[in-house]
Amino acid sequence: MTAEHWDSRYADIGDTAVSWFQPIPQVSLDLISSISGPVDSVVDVGGGASRLVDHLLAKGYHDLTVVDLSQESLSASRERVGQAPVHWVQTDVRDWQPDRTFHVWHDRAAYHFLTDVQDQQRYWTLVRESLPVGGHVVVATFADDGPGMCSGLPVQRYSEQDLAAAMGESFTPVATQREEHVTPSGGTQSFVWVVARRT
Ligand X SMILES: C[S@@+](CC[C@H](N)C(=O)[O-])C[C@H]1O[C@@H](n2cnc3c(N)ncnc32)[C@H](O)[C@@H]1O
Q: Which residues lie near ligand X (CB under 6 A)?
A: 1, 6, 20, 46-48, 50, 68-70, 73, 92-94, 108-110, 113, 150
Cβ distance to ligand X smaller for residue 170 or 189? 189
Q: Are 120 and 152 in contact (CB under 8 A)?
A: no
Range 9-18, long-range pairs (CB < 8 A, 24+ positions)? 9/70, 9/151, 10/48, 10/49, 10/70, 10/72, 10/73, 10/76, 11/72, 15/48, 15/49, 15/73, 15/76, 16/184, 17/184, 17/185, 18/49, 18/151, 18/184
Least spacing, CB of residue 175 vs ligand X, in Å: 18
Rounded-to-integer distance, Cα 125 and Cα 103, Å: 16
Please tell me the distance from the alpha carbon of residue 60 to that of residue 140, in angstroms, as a whole number. 24
- Closest distance of CB 140 from ligand X, Å: 8
Q: Which is nearer to ligand X, 93 or 137 (CB)?
A: 93
Chain position whose Cβ is nearest to ligand X? 48
CB nearer to ligand X: pick between 18 and 196: 18
What's the closest the beta carbon of residue 170 comes to ligand X, in angstroms?
Answer: 21
Between residues 46 and 146, which has the closer beta carbon with respect to ligand X?
A: 46
Find the shortest distance in angstroms from Cβ 199 to ligand X: 25
